[in-house]
């Protein structure tokens, strides 16, 4: 875990969360699913003027209302309480009542008209239902998503987004105090109107509707939420994070590429970090870790190659991947370190990583830092040759040590991990004191790295992913700092997802080979990469070749084992 002493922004306690529940009332139409939404009051303390789903706080008496509520066998106690709260809120705000009579008869318009929708919170609501012999249909309310309000906001809620079918024969009527203008809208239409600026919605609403738009019918939504072998769980849980992009406040979920960087730099949700890519100034990620992105953006490098600077004024600096031989980039590295560079490490020999090492070393006339790494293998292309001044050994540690202004000793230790696969001489580094993995090109943010035989090897690549997963488990590594893209959070999950993606792609390639046993890689490519833009196929062809070589090798091993068994 990151040392508190290295965090840029002081720790703070985000506002506490309050339990709430909201419900998406759904109906089928010839044009697809529609969801019931209303506009919040312009004077509301939370999301004023936004279009939302009915919902609100969970009250203590919602628990007591279970005496008149149904329950699914797999529905937990808290899920049942959340469902009851959502039913109550839908009634208070829109006059929609998810209930039925004890004999199974649906609730009538007369039943609803006879009930008080005013201050019905808690026992009053349950008493009204009980007096009319009504049973709350909480077993027909399912959990779709789980949202926890962003850490930077002053009012925060822990709220399930529930789904239920709209009762037939009921007509929503807004309470005209908290909610206005009830409307039925297709998710795609709501999103289009929001993008046009005339249907304002907050971030969780937008993201929920984006997922909802993928379903054709209400039955499909409810089936997706149905219990499985692990009981009932939301399709996702998210506590978004916010940063600045082009000067605007932008929100991100855990699956979005900037999320990990925001979690590292602003762990308590401080809204301060700019996410714009630029090459003129270093980006401080921690007090002892900075990133300077080389001005070499492309389809292969993304926003550019990330050079990382580890250390501080007390210890001197270690530079990871000085990048291409770009005069301005190298000059910026020298100036931001005041020339006090103790070591230069290249994760591998490719042209956007190692050529800047020698020119950067030449600028550091006082320290003359050694250039470290692994020499390129004979299989490397002519444009990717590299020979370090000293070869690093798998498992060795590179340490920067010094004394702070307060007289306290401080050390930053980087452990070397040999990770062949993307390149035969590829290595990664773990900053042990802070639980960070510098992954070079082995793990990227937003794309998968190219495995280009013969220097690239798919089996070695997958094995190296296992090695990195073990290192993350041992070193409590939470963040991955890639050579291209933002910081990646949830390190081990990211590695597992990447390996699963590679194996899934390999299965598609194997299926293409089986379908066209006499085919060529050029014929297998459009089948196995039909989900990738055609403009990227020339690049994908390299990784396909690596997968084909691995598949054929595994087939040969299997044949040999079968022959030996006979």
What pLDDT digit, counting tens, does each position of 330-370 carry? 999 999 999 999 999 999 999 999 999 999 999 999 999 99
Give the span between the Cα atoms of 394 and 414, in whole angstroms: 12
- Contact by Cβ (8 Å): 379, 455: yes
251 and 233 belong to one structural domain: no
Which residues are CB-contacts of 304 (< 8 A; sequence separation ≥ 6)? 277, 279, 293, 294, 295, 296, 297, 484
Residue 2 lies in a domain: no
Helix (H) / strand (E) element for 162: namely strand 156-165
Q: Is the confidence at residue 507, as pLDDT, over 90? A: yes
Give the span between the Cα atoms of 214 and 220, in whole angstroms: 10
Across the range 261-283, mean pLDDT stands at: 97
Please count the helices (runs of H) and the strands (runs of E) in the chain: 14, 24
Q: Is 195 left (phi over 0), alpha (psi -120 to 50) or beta?
A: alpha
Residue 462, strand partner residues:
none
103 and 194 belong to one structural domain: yes
301 and 183 belong to one structural domain: no
- Contact by Cβ (8 Å): 183, 37: yes
Helix (H) / strand (E) element for 191: namely helix 187-196
Q: Residue 230: which pLDDT band, with cuts at 50, 70 and 90? A: low
Burial class (CB in 10 A: 0-12, 13-18, 19+), 106: middle
Q: Residue 120: which pLDDT band, with cuts at 50, 70 and 90? A: very low
Domain-ending residue, one of 437, 470, 492:
492
For the chain, percent helix, then strand, then coil, each to nearest 5?
Answer: 35, 25, 45
What pLDDT digit, counting tens, does each position of 130-167 carry? 999 999 999 999 999 999 999 999 999 999 999 999 99
Reading the block at residue 30, the tokens are 């010839």
Number of structural domains the chain divides into: 4
Q: Residue 123: which pLDDT band, with cuts at 50, 70 and 90? A: low
Q: HSE-up of 151 (CA within 13 Å, CB side)?
A: 22
401 and 269 belong to one structural domain: no
468 and 338 belong to one structural domain: yes
Give the span between the Cα atoms of 450 and 545, in whole angstroms: 11
Q: Above pLDDT 70, what percent of the chain?
A: 98
Give the span between the Cα atoms of 527 and 516, in whole angstroms: 10
Q: Is the confidence at residue 296, as pLDDT, over 90? A: yes
Residue 4 lies in a domain: no
Q: Residue 119: which pLDDT band, with cuts at 50, 70 and 90? A: low
Residue 11 lies in a domain: no
Q: Is the confidence at residue 122, as pLDDT, over 50? A: no
What pLDDT digit, counting tens, does each position of 510-531 carry? 999 999 999 999 999 999 999 9
What pLDDT digit, counting tens, does each position of 413-435 carry? 999 999 999 999 999 999 999 99
Residue 7, strand partner residues:
none
Q: What per-residue confidence (pLDDT) applies to 229?
A: 66
Tracing tokens 């072998």 back to the chain, one arrives at 229
Reading the block at residue 118, the tokens are 């005013």
Q: Residue 383: which pLDDT band, with cuts at 50, 70 and 90? A: confident
Residue 9 lies in a domain: no
202 and 334 belong to one structural domain: no
Residue 497 lies in a domain: no
- Contact by Cβ (8 Å): 416, 396: yes
Residue 52, strand partner residues:
38
Q: Is the confidence at residue 378, as pLDDT, over 90? A: yes
CATH assignment of the domain containing 366 = 3.60.15.10
221 and 111 belong to one structural domain: yes
Which residues are CB-contacts of 283 (< 8 A; sequence separation ≥ 6)? 274, 290, 291, 292, 293
Structural domain boundaries, residue 540 = 502-565
Q: Residue 566: which pLDDT band, with cuts at 50, 70 and 90? A: low
Give the span between the Cα atoms of 332 and 330, in whole angstroms: 5
453 and 386 belong to one structural domain: yes
Tracing tokens 């002892």 back to the chain, one arrives at 288
- Contact by Cβ (8 Å): 82, 76: no
Which residues are CB-contacts of 215 (< 8 A; sequence separation ≥ 6)? 33, 221, 224
CATH assignment of the domain containing 103 = 3.90.79.10
Give the span between the Cα atoms of 17 and 40, in whole angstroms: 21
Q: What per-residue confidence (pLDDT) applies to 428?
A: 98
93 and 115 belong to one structural domain: yes
Count of all residues that appear for the chain in the document: 566
Residue 200 lies in a domain: yes
Which residues are CB-contacts of 335 (< 8 A; sequence separation ≥ 6)? none
Chain mean pLDDT for the chain: 94
Across the range 165-177, mean pLDDT stands at: 89
What pLDDT digit, counting tens, does each position of 31-80 carry? 999 999 999 888 877 778 899 999 999 998 898 899 999 999 999 999 99
**SS3 readout for 385-440:** CCCCCEECCCCCEEEEEEECCCCCEEEEEEEEEECCCCCCCCEEEEECCCCEEEEE
Q: Is the confidence at residue 258, as pLDDT, over 50? A: yes
299 and 396 belong to one structural domain: yes
């Amino acid at each position: 875990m990151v040392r508190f002493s290295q965090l840029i922004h002081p720790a703070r306690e985000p506002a506490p969360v309050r339990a709430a529940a909201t419900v998406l009332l759904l109906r089928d139409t010839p044009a697809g699913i529609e969801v019931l939404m209303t506009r919040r009051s312009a004077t509301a303390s939370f999301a004023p003027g936004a279009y939302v789903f009915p919902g609100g706080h969970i009250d203590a008496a919602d628990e007591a209302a279970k005496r008149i509520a149904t329950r699914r066998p797999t529905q937990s106690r808290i899920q049942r309480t959340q469902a009851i709260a959502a039913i109550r809120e839908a009634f208070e705000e829109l006059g929609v009542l998810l209930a039925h009579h004890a004999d199974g008869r649906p609730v009538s318009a007369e039943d609803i008209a006879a009930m008080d929708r005013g201050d019905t919170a808690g026992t009053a609501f349950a008493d009204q239902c009980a007096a009319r012999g009504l049973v709350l249909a909480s077993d027909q309310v399912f959990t779709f998503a789980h949202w926890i309000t962003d850490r930077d906001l002053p009012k925060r809620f822990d709220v399930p987004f529930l789904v239920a079918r709209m009762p037939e024969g009921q007509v929503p009527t807004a309470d005209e105090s908290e909610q206005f203008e009830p409307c039925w809208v297709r998710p795609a239409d709501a999103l289009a109107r929001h993008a046009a600026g005339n249907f304002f919605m907050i971030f969780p609403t937008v993201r929920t509707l984006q997922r909802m738009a993928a379903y054709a019918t209400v039955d499909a939504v409810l089936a997706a939420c149905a219990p499985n072998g692990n009981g009932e769980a939301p399709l996702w849980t998210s506590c978004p994070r916010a940063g600045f992009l082009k000067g605007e406040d932008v929100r991100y979920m855990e699956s979005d590429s900037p999320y990990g960087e925001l979690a590292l730099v602003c762990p308590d949700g401080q809204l301060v970090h700019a996410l714009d890519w630029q090459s003129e100034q270093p980006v401080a990620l921690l007090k002892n870790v900075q990133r300077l992105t080389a001005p070499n953006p492309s389809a292969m490098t993304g926003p550019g190659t990330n050079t990382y600077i580890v250390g501080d004024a007390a210890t001197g600096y270690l530079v990871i991947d000085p990048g291409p031989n770009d005069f301005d980039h190298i000059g910026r590295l020298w100036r931001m370190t005041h020339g006090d560079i103790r070591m230069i490490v290249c994760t591998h020999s490719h042209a956007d990583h190692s050529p800047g090492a020698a020119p950067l070393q030449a600028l550091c006339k006082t320290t003359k830092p050694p250039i470290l790494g692994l020499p390129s293998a004979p299989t490397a292309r002519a444009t990717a040759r590299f020979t370090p001044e000293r070869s690093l050994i798998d498992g060795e540690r590179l340490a920067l040590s010094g004394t702070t202004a307060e007289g306290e000793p401080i050390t930053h230790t980087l452990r070397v991990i040999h990770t062949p696969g993307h390149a035969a001489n590829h290595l990664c580094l773990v900053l042990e004191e802070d639980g960070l993995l510098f992954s070079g090109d082995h793990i990227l943010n937003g794309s998968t790295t190219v495995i280009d035989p013969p220097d690239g090897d798919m089996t070695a690549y997958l094995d190296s992913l296992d090695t990195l997963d073990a290192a993350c488990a041992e070193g409590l590594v939470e963040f991955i700092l890639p050579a291209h893209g933002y910081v990646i959070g949830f390190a081990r999950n990211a590695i597992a997802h990447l390996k699963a993606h590679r194996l899934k792609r390999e299965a598609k390639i194997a299926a293409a080979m089986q379908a066209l046993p006499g085919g060529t890689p050029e014929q297998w490519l459009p089948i196995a990469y039909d989900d990738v833009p055609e403009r990227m196929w020339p690049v994908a062809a390299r990784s396909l070749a690596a997968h084909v070589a691995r598949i054929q090798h595994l087939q040969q091993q299997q044949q040999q084992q079968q022959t030996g068994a006979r």
